[in-house]
Every structure is written in C-alpha cells, then in structure tokens.
Amino acid sequence: MSWRVPLSDVRIQDSDVEAVLDCLRSGWLTMGPRTAAFEEAAAARLGVAHAVAVSSGTAALHLACIAAGLGPGDEAIVPGMTFVATAAAVRYTGAEPVLCEIRGADDMNIDPADVARRITPRTKAVLAVHFGGYPAAIPDLRALCDRHGLVLIEDCAQGIGALVDGAGHQAGVLGDLGCFSMFSKKQLCVGEGGILTTHDKDVAARAKSLRGHGLTSGTWDRHRAYSSGYDVADFGFNYRIDEPRAALAMSRLTRLDDDIAARRRLARAYRDGFRDVDGLGLVWDDEVAERSSHFAFPVLLPDRRARDGFRAFLRGRGVQTTFYPALHRFSEYRRLFPGLSLPRVEEAADRHCAIPISPHLAGADVDFVIDAVKAAVRSVEEPVEAVA
C-alpha cells in the first residue's frame, strides 16, 4: 500500500550519504574513531557525562538493567503502556518486570503513585518510558527512587530531546541511566542502533566492556597498537555498533534540534486544529506538549469501536495510523501475568490512535491530515444503534 501521508517519513540527505561513504572508503568498519566521536557528541547533546553507542535501544536497556544490578529474585517496575523491549530487558537479567499503571488515557506515562504502591522489598529499579516523546514525571520518580534506594532507568527510546521539567533537564539526565534508540522510526534515525547514557564513568566503562564480549581492549585499540592482547574480564555480549552507522548517526545528530523543532511546530498545528472538535480528545496539556519531542501524535476517541472506525476511515484517505496495545494483553505477557488488570492502560490502549508526524510533514499535507481527521471523527459519530 502506498500512503498519501505515511506515519513517519525518513529523508537521508546528501551529507548523510557522504559521511557513510567516507567511512566505507576509510576501510575501517567496526567500532573505531567515528564511534568514539559520535559518543562524545551524543554525550554533549544529551547533557550527560558519558554516552555508550550500542547495536540497539534494546541492548542499551539490557546493559542498563545489568548496571542497575538486576538479577534473579529482583523486581523492576515497568509501565504497562510501552513497547515490549522495556519489559524484555528486565527479563534478560532473570529479574521480573512488575507492570504498573499510567496516569490516564490523556497522560499515557507511568504513574508515580502506582509505582509507589507496587514497591516491595525485592524492587530494585523503576523503568520510566517517555511515551510518544512526552516526558514522564521524572522529578517525582527521582524523589521516589531516592527515598526507596531504587535505580531509575529512563527508557528514552521515544523521548530523545524531551524536557522532563521546566528547568530544562532533558530525558535521560535525572535518571541513573538513559537508554536511547536509533531505530528507523525514532527521532534520531539510523536504522538500528542505541545509546546508553550515564553520569558515572565506571558504569560507562563496564558498559563498553560488556558490549564487546567483556574484553579488556577493542579491535581499534589493538590496531593502533595501544594494546597487543586482551583478557576476558566479564561475561559480555556482542552489542557493538559499526562505524558506518556511527557516521550516519553523527551526521544526523547535527539536525536533531531542527527536526524536533519541526515536530513541535506540527504538533502545535495539530493541537490548534483539533482543540474544539467534539468526539476527539488531545493528550497531555499544551505545556507538556511543548516539552515533548513528539515521536508520535496520539489522539483519543471515545471508545475502541470509534477508534477502529476512525482508523479505517483514515486508511481510506491514505493516512497511515497506528496504536500501542497494552503490554499485558500480548499472549506472551498474558501467560506471564494471568488475570492482571490495568484499567487505565487498557482504556488508553483502546482509545488512542497515533496519526502521522515527521519533521517533513508541512504545508498542504498538514491541512489534508487535519481535514481527514475531522471527517473521520464525524464518520464514527453517526448514530449506528438507532435501528436495533
């Protein structure tokens, strides 16, 4: 199917291509100088002391869970409204994810009050997700985690560049660990890739060792003859990124701020366009929306039937949409948590629909989407139960 307006729209510029070609021509393809340069630039941009580039956002989450000391017998609290990788990363360590509530359908982020209720003597960490790019309540969670001696991991896969408070703290800064994704649909899109951030140099050093099999030196160090051999000092993985992707990431990082600004402009136009539409709800308020980095633009319909009809109508107009199911309703997680009920997560999962958002969606296409959305709302409002 070819969409008139796709959900996301990736555009690679000539400068991106040149950066990758330069790397390929250099003949050095595994982690080396471009990865190191990207890590330095990413740390500076994200406001943290250390950034470790890895093969995916999921790898960053797994390394964060290891850094948090998670293992068998431990629990980590995870919102029920997230992509499955957040919970899977906890499970890779042998620990158990404990799913918790979000604040509501119009604030689909982790609810600190519900987190507090689910803390047990086995709880070791909280994983906060910036859903759709909208900042989670990190200052509240920071205080809660400090009170209970818990590690705060921020899943920033959808939230790069989001601001978590009015003081300008970015996603990933106030948490103990930040985990970012460079998957092709994310704001900093490379295809595959991730970044782990931390303020702690020992945590960064261990993550760098773990991403490369726990070796004490990398191939680049040996190439430069800084090191002639290596020891295996830890039980590691192959979570390496490669140089062409580090080069692409570096090139795209220079445009991240402009891209987020464009996403915010589009989100403003959508909010203004939808504010007074009966039967259509906006999520979060204007103040939080300004601090979002807008990975997704969810809107709310009255119920699941209306949401599904809304999506079908937009499909007919060539407008691609999606929604995020509740994690505990997937078969794997129904098996793990039989009978678990999270009413606010379920309501949000049933009622929201994400419409296209990208830095390149502008002009007449924005009006086209706004008009199509309004028509879609009218189409699902027509009474259908009149003749029973």
Ligand X SMILES: *Cc1c(COP(=O)(O)O)cnc(C)c1O
- Pick from 78, 86, 7: nearest CA to 296: 7
**Nearest approach, Cβ of residue 252 and ligand X (Å):** 15
**Nearest approach, Cβ of residue 126 and ligand X (Å):** 15
Interface region with ligand X, contact rule CB under 6 A, candidates 11-19, 54-62, 211-219, 358-366: 54-62
Separation of alpha carbons 169 and 171, rounded Å: 7
- Interface pick for ligand X out of 8, 35, 86, 109 (rule CB under 6 A): 86
3-state secondary structure of 152: strand
Residue 128, strand partner residues: 154
Burial (0-12, 13-18, 19+ Cβ within 10 Å), 331: exposed
Q: What burial letters (b/e) apply to 79-92, b meaning 16+ CB within 10 Å?
A: bbbbbebbbbbbbb
Interacting positions 192-221 with ligand X (CB under 6 A)? 194
237 near ligand X, judged by CB under 6 A: no
82 near ligand X, judged by CB under 6 A: yes
- Interface pick for ligand X out of 35, 58, 251, 321 (rule CB under 6 A): 58
**Nearest approach, Cβ of residue 370 and ligand X (Å):** 26
Separation of alpha carbons 313 and 375, rounded Å: 8
Of the pair 98, 377, the CB lying nearest ligand X is at 98
- The DSSP element (H or E) to which 289 belongs, if any, is helix 286-291
Number of residues that bind ligand X (CB under 6 A): 14
Of the pair 136, 150, the CB lying nearest ligand X is at 136
- Interface pick for ligand X out of 70, 125, 129, 253 (rule CB under 6 A): 129
Instruction: Tell me the backbone φ, ψ of residue 75, rounded to 5 degrees.
Output: -120, 150
Separation of alpha carbons 207 and 64, rounded Å: 8
- Interface pick for ligand X out of 183, 313, 323, 333 (rule CB under 6 A): 183
Of the pair 54, 319, the CB lying nearest ligand X is at 54
End-to-end, the C-alpha distance of the chain in Å comes to 36
- Interface pick for ligand X out of 23, 48, 52, 85 (rule CB under 6 A): 85
**Nearest approach, Cβ of residue 231 and ligand X (Å):** 29
Of the pair 240, 376, the CB lying nearest ligand X is at 240
How large is the greatest C-alpha to C-alpha distance in the chain, in angstroms? Answer: 82
- Interface pick for ligand X out of 57, 79, 97, 244 (rule CB under 6 A): 57
**Tokens describing residue 304:** 């699941």
174 near ligand X, judged by CB under 6 A: no
97 near ligand X, judged by CB under 6 A: no
Interacting positions 141-160 with ligand X (CB under 6 A)? 155, 157-158
Separation of alpha carbons 130 and 375, rounded Å: 30
**Tokens describing residue 311:** 């999506």
What interhelical angle do 256-274 and 364-381 show, nearest 10? 40
Query: Which residue do the tokens 């068998």 mark?
Result: 72
Closest residue to ligand X, Cβ-based? 57
Of the pair 31, 127, the CB lying nearest ligand X is at 127
Instruction: Tell me the backbone φ, ψ of residue 351, rounded to 5 degrees.
Output: -100, -20
83 near ligand X, judged by CB under 6 A: yes
Residues that bind ligand X (CB under 6 A): 56-58, 82-83, 85-86, 129, 155, 157-158, 181, 183, 194
